[in-house]
Amino acid sequence: MIRFDNDYTEGAHPRIIEKLVDTNEEQLPGYGRDHYSDEAKALISSICDHDVDVHFMVGGTQANLTIISSALRTHQGVIAPDSGHIAADETGAIEATGHKVLELENENGKISAEQVEDFVEGHWNSPVREHMSQPKMVCISQPTESGTLYSKQELERIRKVCDDYNLYLMVDGARLGYALASEENDTTLADVARLCDVFYIGGTKVGALFGEAVVISNGSLKEDFRYIIKQKGGMLAKGRLLGIQFKVLFEDDLYFDISRHALEMAKRLQEGFENKGIEMHYPSPTNQLFPVLTTLQIDKLRQKYAFQPWEDLDVDRKVIRFCTSWSTDENDVEALIEDIGRL
């Protein structure tokens, strides 16, 4: 069975495994106080070209709930697309911290600055606003759960609304490498650091064994963040396991190189679908593809390939998700393209 069902089904890039093995018997301080973590933080800070604090955490849900619960007071909520990970895929983790997710209808995974402004205006103009969660943060994903991208102009517009209404802007960057490496992307990591109060750089889905790098630009959110990581159960005793991985990822542009590989494989796969006349449900320029297939086509492909059902369009047509990653083999992609041609 050839797997295209997610972008973290493999372990980690070989260079990361090699480095973890090579450093296995080194005796280092715990809780991320080791020199590998310091070096990784310096590499990320340099690329961000901004005064940032960097913290390493194990996974995306853990990063999201720690960031949001640290930034918001108990009566405040976070605005997000209704398709956003914190709204749809984290088992109510944000609500479990006491903060409501304030959902806005998405279009191809995205929300607009105008939607945010209308929602916040509606809250502050309501005579019963004290009975509702106060919007204090906007959380978007780059790329989105539909594989789409926010342009720099869209991010700047959302940033302006956040400034006008005193909101924090957070970016869930679980797949950020695939956004930054996309041919359609016009933002840099420095742009993300400049425009966001806080974001994270995903490692779990972009070559690491596990781990996310939380990057905080807003000085008011930096204070005591390590206390909150500890309180939320996110402080890894063997923190060097995170630092080593991100040091390897951000040395010699490995993070961007493996992201580009995944996108090259996705582009070839998309061409294979389109040459067969199969439409894409979302205009994704990243590593996630969403072809619309018939039940018969799905059954044929399932004999050799693993992929993820996404959405039912009607009794016979379904949206399916295919993902590529750092380890996607060119021969597997060519085999899949050949089988698509036989559908």
Residue 230 shares a structural domain with residue 266? no
Q: How many residues does the chain have?
A: 343
The domain boundary residue, chosen from 206, 235, 252:
252
Residue 86 shares a structural domain with residue 173? yes
Residue 225 shares a structural domain with residue 155? yes
Residue 204 shares a structural domain with residue 291? no
Q: Give me the percent of the chain exceeding a pLDDT of 70.
A: 100
Q: Which domain holds residue 295?
A: 2-7+255-341
176's CB contacts (< 8 A; 6+ apart) are 142, 143, 192, 199, 200, 201, 202, 206
For the domain that residue 262 is a member of, what is the CATH number? 3.90.1150.10
Question: What are 43-85's pLDDT values in tens digits?
Answer: 999 999 999 999 999 999 999 999 999 999 999 999 999 999 9
Residue 192 shares a structural domain with residue 289? no
CA atoms within 13 A on the CB side of 275: 13
- Name residue 156's amino acid: E
Query: If we measure between CA atoms, which residue out of 323, 208, 76, 257 comes closest to residue 200?
Result: 208
Mean pLDDT of the chain: 97
Burial class for 157, CB neighbours closer than 10 Å (0-12, 13-18, 19+): middle
Question: What are 196-232's pLDDT values in tens digits?
Answer: 999 999 999 999 999 999 999 999 999 999 999 999 9
Distance CA 324, CA 100 (A): 33
The domain boundary residue, chosen from 236, 252, 268:
252
Output the pLDDT for position 11: 94
Residue 216 shares a structural domain with residue 91? yes
Residue 248 shares a structural domain with residue 307? no
Distance CA 254, CA 15 (A): 9
Please report which confidence band the pLDDT of residue 322 belongs to, taking 50, 70 and 90 as the band edges: very high
Question: What are 101-156's pLDDT values in tens digits?
Answer: 999 999 999 999 999 999 999 999 999 999 999 999 999 999 999 999 999 999 99
Residue 61 shares a structural domain with residue 125? yes
Query: If we measure between CA atoms, which residue out of 157, 195, 254, 161 comes closest to residue 173?
Result: 195
Task: Name the domain count of the chain.
Answer: 2
Q: Give me the percent of the chain exceeding a pLDDT of 90.
A: 99
Residue 178 shares a structural domain with residue 287? no
Output the pLDDT for position 151: 98
Residue 120 shares a structural domain with residue 226? yes
Residue 70 shares a structural domain with residue 115? yes
Query: If we measure between CA atoms, which residue out of 274, 270, 266 comes closest to residue 323?
Result: 266
For the domain that residue 87 is a member of, what is the CATH number? 3.40.640.10
Residue 221 shares a structural domain with residue 238? yes
Distance CA 182, CA 180 (A): 6
The domain boundary residue, chosen from 231, 252, 273:
252
Helices (H) and strands (E) in the chain, counts: 15, 13
